[in-house]
Structure formats: C-alpha cells, structure tokens
C-alpha cells in the first residue's frame, strides 16, 4: 500500500483524515494459516488482503490433512509491524481459520520454493547454462538439442539469483510454486 500523494492541508475538505498515521519500517513476514479445506476459503483469505489493502508477495495452498480436510496456506506478506499484527488478527478471527503462525517471529524456519526454468541456446551458452545449473544443484528435467528445462528447489532468493544468471543465456519461461515454509526443530 504505497501512500498517495496528498497535498498538505487538502484533507481538511474531506470527510476522512487521509494522511498515513504511521510511517514505519516495512517488514516481510511468512505466515502459515491452517484452514478448513472448504469451498471459498481461499477467496475469503485473499479477499481479506485485497479488501483491507494488504500485500501478498507469495501464496501457496494445498490440503495437508486429507482426513481432517485441513489446508495449509503459506503467505509471504509485507507491512509495518502494526499492519502485520492486524493481518494476523484479521486472519485468526475468520471462522474457517484454525491456526495462524508467524514463522518470521516464531523462531527459525525453512522456506523453500520450487521453480521450473526453460532456457534455450546453443554452443557456449548451452554449456554455461548446464555448468551453472550444476553449481546451483538444479536438475535437468527436459532436454532438446536447443533447450533445457531446469528444476530447482531453494529459498526464493536462490531462485532469483539463478534466474538472473540464466537471463543472458536464453531464459524463455519460468514457473514458480511460491513459498512453502515450516518452523525448524520441534
């Protein structure tokens, strides 16, 4: 939510005070939300973010408990500490939400994302792409004489770095799953 450019004094004509009450540091948080896997639950969660002007940097969802029909939604979001607290409280009060965990403050956690990258090229570019893939521990899951599809898992930053290196070597397409995360230890 970037602040609008509102001229000083102009809000005296409004029925609302339009100025941002808090200007503070923006933090990134990874939230794990355990929900009933029922119709509309994802729309409800996403609608909360759009309706209240919160950010979503990444979102993944899948049923993790098939007998209890529970899904785990992993959301990477940004905001001031006050906004992050609000997001957690707003999520927690939703009827189909069972648990909200802030993996960023609850302690160390592992965050992983899976990406597929299609790189097209010949000659030196092709060899260089393969060499870098080895360094990044990306697997080749499809190959033609003119292209590779690499599969890699890692923290989002690692995937960013690899994609950046592939760009001059013929990166054509990239598909990413978004972040899945778990707290470390028990």
Sole window of 58-66, 92-100, 103-111, 146-154 interacting with another protein (rule: CB under 8 A): 92-100
List, in sequence order, every residue forming a beta bridge with 119; answer none if it has no partner: 148, 171
- Name which position in 1, 26, 62, 92 contacts another protein (CB under 8 A): 92
Where are the alpha helices (H) located in 1-151, listed in sequence order? 41-51, 81-92, 124-135
Angle at 144 between CA 138 and CA 148, to 5 degrees: 25
Q: Between 96 and 178, whose beta carbon lies closer to another protein? A: 96
The least CB distance from residue 86 to another protein, in Å, is 6
- Name which position in 55, 90, 147, 177 contacts another protein (CB under 8 A): 90
Contacts of 59 (CB under 8 A, 6+ apart): 46, 73, 74, 75, 76, 178
Listed residue (114, 132, 144) closest to 168, CA to CA: 132
Q: Which residue has the tokens 């939604």?
A: 73
The least CB distance from residue 88 to another protein, in Å, is 9
Query: According to the binding rule CB under 8 A, does residue 105 interact with another protein?
Result: no
Binders of another protein in range 118-157 (CB under 8 A): none
Listed residue (152, 31, 47) closest to 84, CA to CA: 31
The least CB distance from residue 48 to another protein, in Å, is 8
- CB-based contact 121:169 (threshold 8 Å): yes
- Name which position in 2, 4, 7, 14 contacts another protein (CB under 8 A): 14
Residues lying near another protein in the complex (CB under 8 A): 11-19, 21, 39-40, 43-44, 47-48, 51, 82, 85-86, 89-90, 92-96, 98
């Amino acid at each position: 939510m970037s602040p609008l450019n509102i001229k000083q004094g102009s809000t005296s004509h409004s029925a609302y005070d339009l100025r941002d009450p808090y200007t503070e540091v923006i933090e990134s948080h990874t939230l794990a939300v355990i929900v009933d896997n029922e119709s509309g639950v994802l729309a409800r969660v996403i609608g909360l973010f759009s309706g209240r002007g919160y950010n979503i940097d990444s979102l993944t969802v899948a049923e993790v408990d098939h007998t209890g029909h529970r899904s785990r939604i992993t959301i990477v979001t940004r905001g001031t500490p006050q906004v992050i607290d609000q997001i957690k409280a707003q999520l927690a009060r939703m009827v189909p939400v069972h648990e909200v965990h802030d993996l960023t403050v609850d302690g160390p956690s592992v965050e992983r994302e899976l990406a597929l990258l299609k790189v097209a090229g010949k000659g030196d570019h092709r060899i260089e792409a393969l060499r870098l893939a080895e360094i990044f521990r990306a697997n080749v899951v499809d190959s033609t004489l003119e292209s590779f599809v690499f599969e890699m898992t890692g923290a989002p930053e690692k995937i960013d770095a690899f994609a950046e290196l592939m760009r001059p070597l013929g990166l054509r397409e990239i598909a990413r799953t978004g972040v899945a995360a778990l707290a470390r230890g028990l």
